[in-house]
Structure 1
């Protein structure tokens, strides 16, 4: 079928990245269909809610019907990626093909495995852990579809995210929520390793740029982020914004293993511990060379906005 000129469909619109993409699209004046299981989405001009299950081809086709661009921002629970993510993404591919839409996949950096230099898009997919291999295989399948002419695809990759709505993240409730409540802020890994963090509104702007620009097609792109921070510096920004000292402690490998005995999400962090115990830095220079200057949100401003959101949405 021929797609209308300006229907942008966001899958996983109830999640942190998906809801940020919905807001960015609405701010740019696009017509948006926000898809999730509950059908509850922010009340924004031009945004329609769609309650649907995209884990089947039928559900994905219904969700994507009439789309010009589809943003795949949905994901299973972290500990179920290996079992459920490929099947979900296969269904989304079928939905996008049926609608004739361009597909934007919100990806991460797991496929590269352990690295010793800043990550660029031309690095091999060297991950040997299950989650990294799943990410690599999904990317390879999507880009193969593009090369075959079956589906227009662009992939946007971000590092660990934080920002308004960012709860299920290593710097979410355990850092921002805990600090606001006067609890110990737990940092996953050593405090002295530089790490790239992606701010949710910046991720959304990057993904929508890929959706709007034909030059993005057929490639994976690292989305721009502010300068990398060590855990110590990140926590200093949180404490400075709060205006008071806060208790903080690193969650080391031994404690991660111990907590992982009873918590499957914490247990799953073990297979990617190399992202914590050494520099984990992304290079987005190819994005800015291609699409032009991109003003990222400075880390202090992003931390302040995230704390404001947590004040308004306290965690248990």
Structure 2
């Protein structure tokens, strides 16, 4: 049995679709799980509770942690370390392998200009400090407790999802409403995005490749370097909209953060948008001989999916 914790988020859904190529028994775990494949097993659980985590992982061969908590620092500080400790403990007790779907917040400052699996843990934000601590927990458990685990990292992602993607929120949704597209901090800076279907397929492949364990992997992401401005032009051309855009500079977000708490969360992560942000997945591509979906193709598939 292979189990997805946090199963109904965008990554969990794509992962479940891909896992049916590797196993006949998939368990989907969340507060309100919904089937992706007809044969999926559903388990309702509150994963903030230790006993629920152990119940969810019992009998699993591979556990995928894809849960996404509310994008709020206080929530992350309260919930993430405890959840990770419980998941590690339960995986070890059940002799299950762990695949952690992660972001790149633990890489900070100018290190985001070219991110590889060898990039140092260098957080420059509170959220980044939490992600670095989670990585360290897994790596320590691999070394000292014989945990078999993978850290699978993704850049910011895009695809046919309603939220949790800056590209969809600020570009697609505005253009769809005949408004100007928006971009944060610096529209001239290059920015990598991982295509969600690629991320789901690659995470399933990693989890079912014994040689991939006890390593960090960057999930396949097109290496074409597009700036925010060029992303807007790409969407605008395909959607037959104007490519004029509104830049939201740092001082505006800083000011808004005094009135809108969420803007404070955005301002803290500004280093990911005020300079080039390049996510290098060449390790994965070379090892598996797999190329990521080109941006133009992924964007067209995303727009087609939204139409349907």
| Short-chain TM bin | over 0.9
8 Å CA contact 2:22–2:208 kept in 1: the answer is no
When the two structures are aligned, how many residues end up with a matched partner? 304
8 Å CA contact 1:75–1:85 kept in 2: the answer is no
Q: 2:305 — aligned with what?
A: 309
Q: 2:10 — aligned with what?
A: 16
User: Which is worse superposed, 44-53 or 223-232?
Assistant: 44-53
CA offset digits 1:205-245 (Å, max 9, x no partner):
22112101122211111112012321111111111221232
CA offset digits 1:246-295 (Å, max 9, x no partner):
55212211221133233333211212211111111111222223x32112
Post-superposition offset of 1:184 = 2.9
CA offset digits 1:12-67 (Å, max 9, x no partner):
1111111111111125554211111112233x233222211111221111111211
- Does residue 245 of structure 2 align to residue 251 of structure 1? no
TM-score normalised by L of structure 1: 0.90
TM-score normalised by L of structure 2: 0.92
Q: 2:83 — aligned with what?
A: 88
- Does residue 51 of structure 2 align to residue 54 of structure 1? no
Q: 2:68 — aligned with what?
A: 75
Change in Cα spacing, 1:27 to 1:174, as seen in structure 2 (3 Å) is: farther
- Does residue 292 of structure 2 align to residue 286 of structure 1? no
Q: 1:222 — aligned with what?
A: 218
CA RMSD in angstroms, aligned pairs only: 1.8
Change in Cα spacing, 1:83 to 1:240, as seen in structure 2 (3 Å) is: same
Q: 1:133 — aligned with what?
A: 129
Q: Which stretches in structure 1 are left out of the alignment for 5+ residues? A: 1-6
- Does residue 105 of structure 2 align to residue 110 of structure 1? yes
8 Å CA contact 1:102–1:153 kept in 2: the answer is yes
8 Å CA contact 1:177–1:310 kept in 2: the answer is no
Q: 1:190 — aligned with what?
A: 186
Post-superposition offset of 1:124 = 1.6
8 Å CA contact 2:102–2:151 kept in 1: the answer is yes
Post-superposition offset of 1:139 = 0.4
Q: Among 121, 139, 145, which residue is 1:143 paired with?
A: 139
Q: Among 169, 188, 201, which residue is 1:205 paired with?
A: 201
CA distance in 1, matches of 2:22, 2:173: 31
CA distance in 1, matches of 2:284, 2:171: 30
8 Å CA contact 1:26–1:47 kept in 2: the answer is no
CA distance in 1, matches of 2:177, 2:306: 10
8 Å CA contact 1:70–1:96 kept in 2: the answer is yes
Change in Cα spacing, 1:54 to 1:255, as seen in structure 2 (3 Å) is: same
CA distance in 2, matches of 1:142, 1:166: 31
CA distance in 1, matches of 2:283, 2:270: 27
CA distance in 1, matches of 2:186, 2:269: 14
Q: Which stretches in structure 2 are left out of the alignment for 5+ residues? A: none
CA distance in 2, matches of 1:115, 1:286: 21
CA offset digits 1:69-91 (Å, max 9, x no partner):
11100021111222322122222
CA distance in 2, matches of 1:173, 1:160: 12
8 Å CA contact 1:162–1:172 kept in 2: the answer is yes
